[in-house]
Chains A and B, each alone.
Chain A
Amino acid sequence: MTILKNHDTKGVAFVDDAKLTARHVNVFYGDKQAIFDVSLDVGANEVIALIGPSGCGKSTFLRCLNRMNDTIDRCQVQGDILLDGEPIYDGSMDVVPLRARVGMVFQKPNPFPKSIYDNVAYGPRLHGLATTRVELDAIVEYSLQRAGLWNEVKDRLDAPGTGLSGGQQQRLCIARTIAVDPEVILMDEPCSALDPIATAKIEELIDELRENYTIAIVTHSMQQAARVSQRTAYFHMGQLVEVNPTEQMFTTPEHTLTEAYITGRFG
C-alpha cells in the first residue's frame, strides 16, 4: 500500500488545548519502521481511543508518549512529542518524573508482589510525595477511592495485591498510577483480560477520571472506544488514517479503510 503523507490523515488530528502534541513521529525497530509520520494532539481532559488491526502500531505510538520505548532495545523514535509544550525527548527531560506525569496502565494487571497498601504507596514514596505516614495514608486512600476500589479493600490493605480478582488488580494498577498525581494516563488494552462486569467498572472509572486527567486508551473493542472516548484515532499499518469525534467515527467515518475496519470487513 502507498504510504500516506501526514496531511492525508482524515478528520481532526489537532485541537486547541493540546496536552500532548505529536508531530511527524516515526518509530523504527532496528531497520523496520513501525510508525510513519504520525501527527496528533491529545487534548486536555479528553479521552482519546486508539484503534486499528493488530500490529498497526497502537502500542508503539502510545509508548512514545511517555518514552516507554526507551526501554526497548533497537527502538528509535524520531519527530517531536511535547507535553504542555515541552519536548519530552529533550536531553534535559528526566524520564522518571515524566513517567509519573504520564502514567501507564497495561493490558495484564501487574501488581507488585506486595501488599495492596504498598502497591499504591510505592510511587509516592519513590517520588517523595509524602513526608509523613498520615500523608501517605491519605494518598493511598484517595487513590483507591478514585480507582473505585476503596470500599472493597479498605479492611485488608495488608493483603497481597496479587490476591485480588483480575478486575480488582487492574483497578489497583490504576490506583497506583493515580497515586503519583499524573496529568496523563495511557492505557494499553486495559480491559482485554477482564470479564464484562470488571470491564464495565473500568469504563465507568475512565469516564470519571476524565475530569482530572487526560487519557489515551488503546482498545480492541470498538464498543469500548465508542463508550469511553470523545475522539477516536484509527491506525493502519503504522499510519494514522483518520481522527474524528467518536460519534462521527462510528456512524460516518471519512476514510474507506476506517469504514472497512469498524464494520468488520477486515481486522
Chain B
Amino acid sequence: MDMNFNQHISAQFNADLETIRNKMMTMGGLVERQIAAAIDAICDGDSAVVEEVIRREDEVDRLEVAIDNACTQVLVLRQPAASDLRMVIAVSRVVRDLERMGDEACKIAIHAREYTQSSHSQICQQAIRSMGAEVVKMLTGALDAFARADVSDAVDVVRNDKLVDQQYASALRELITYMMEDPRSISQAINILWILRAIERIGDHARNISEQVIYLVSGTDVRHSSLSEIEERTQQ
C-alpha cells in the first residue's frame, strides 16, 4: 500500500497525519523504555530506576490523551477516508494499548520494590528475564511493522505472543511447586505472579498493536481472531 503522506492537496492535512503518527512512535519508544527499565529493575534491584518508571507513568498518560485528541481533531476537520481513516483509527487504538502497557510497566516497578527486598528473590528470575525481553522485542517489532506498514512482521509478533503465553503457563507451574514446597515463599510467589501476569498482558497489547497494523494496511479487522485465522486472512 502507498503509505506516502506527502501527496495530499492539503499540506496541513499531510502534516496532521504525520504528526499523529510520529507522536505515536514517540509514545511507543517511551513505553518500550518503561517496560525494559521495569524488568531491569527487578533483576538488578535498582530502586532509583523503579522510582523513575513510576514517575514517568504520567508522561505516558499525557501522551495518550494528547494523541487521541489530535486524532479527534483530524476526524472532525478532515473527515479522512480509506487509508487515511484507517491510519487515524489505528493510531487512536494503538495509543490505548500503549497506555495500558505503561500501566503494566508501572505495576511491575511497584512489585519490583518488594521482589528485590525478599529473600526468595531468585524465584522465576529466568522466566521474568526471558519473557520480559520477549515482550519488549514484540513491542519494538509491532511499532516497526506499523512504521513500515509490514503485515508479515506484524503476524510474527502475533506468533511470538503465543510463545509468551506458553512461557507464562510454564512459569506459573514453577511458581506453584515453590509454594507447595515452602509455604514461606507464598507471599513472594504471589508478588511474582503479578509481575508475570503484567508481562504477559504487555505481550497481549503488543499483539493488539500488530492487529492494528493489519487493519491499517489491508482494512481487515483481525481482532479476536486466532493465530491460524490471522495467518489465513493475511495470506492473500
Pick the most buried of B2, B8, B13, B81: most chain A CB atoms within 10 A of its CB.
Answer: B81
The stretch of A18-26, A66-74, A93-101, A259-267 that contacts the partner chain: A259-267
The stretch of B60-68, B83-91, B203-211 that contacts the partner chain: B83-91
Q: How far is the CA of A259 from the CA of B10 in the complex (A)?
A: 16
Mark out the residues of chain B between 62 and 86 whose CB falls within 8 Å of any chain A CB in the assembled complex. 78-86
B84 adjacent to A263 (CB under 8 Å): yes
The contact string, 1 if C-beta is below 8 Å from chain B, for chain A 244-264, is 000010111100101110111
Q: How far is the CA of A267 from the CA of B80 in the complex (A)?
A: 14
Query: Which of B8, B9, B78, B82 is within 8 Å of A250, CB to CB?
Result: B82
11 contacts between A and B (CB under 8 A): A222-B79, A250-B85, A251-B85, A251-B86, A252-B218, A258-B82, A263-B80, A264-B10, A264-B84, A266-B9, A267-B9
**A2 interface residue per 8 A CB criterion:** no
Q: Which residues in A have some Cβ–Cβ distance to B below 8 Å?
A: 222-223, 226, 248, 250-253, 256, 258-260, 262-267
**B219 interface residue per 8 A CB criterion:** yes
Nearest Cβ in chain A — how far from B148, in angstroms? 19
Which B-chain residue is minimally distant from A267 (CB atoms)?
B9
Mark out the residues of chain B between 1 and 23 whose CB falls within 8 Å of any chain A CB in the assembled complex. 2, 7-10, 13
Given A251-B219, A252-B219, A267-B9, A262 contacting B2 (CB threshold 8 A): no
User: Using Cβ atoms and an 8 Å threshold, which residues of chain B touch A250?
Assistant: 81-82, 85
Nearest Cβ in chain B — how far from A157, in angstroms? 39
**Interface residue total, chain B, C-beta cutoff 8 A:** 17
A259 adjacent to B9 (CB under 8 Å): no
Which B-chain residue is minimally distant from A262 (CB atoms)?
B81
Q: How far is the CA of A248 from the CA of B81 in the complex (A)?
A: 10
User: Using Cβ atoms and an 8 Å threshold, which residues of chain A touch B10?
Assistant: 264
Pick the most buried of A259, A264, A266, A267: most chain B CB atoms within 10 A of its CB.
Answer: A264
Q: How far is the CA of A263 from the CA of B74 in the complex (A)?
A: 13
Q: How far is the CA of A116 from the CA of B218 in the complex (A)?
A: 52
User: Using Cβ atoms and an 8 Å threshold, which residues of chain B touch A248?
Assistant: 219
Mark out the residues of chain B between 147 and 174 whose CB falls within 8 Å of any chain A CB in the assembled complex. none
A222 adjacent to B9 (CB under 8 Å): no
Which A-chain residue is minimally distant from B81 (CB atoms)?
A262
A256 adjacent to B86 (CB under 8 Å): no
A259 adjacent to B83 (CB under 8 Å): yes
Which A-chain residue is minimally distant from B9 (CB atoms)?
A264
Query: Which of A256, A263, A266 is within 8 Å of B81, CB to CB?
Result: A263
User: Using Cβ atoms and an 8 Å threshold, which residues of chain B touch A223?
Assistant: 79
User: Using Cβ atoms and an 8 Å threshold, which residues of chain A touch B85?
Assistant: 250-251
Which A-chain residue is minimally distant from B219 (CB atoms)?
A252
Q: How far is the CA of A165 from the CA of B140 in the complex (A)?
A: 59
User: Using Cβ atoms and an 8 Å threshold, which residues of chain B touch A259?
Assistant: 2, 82-83
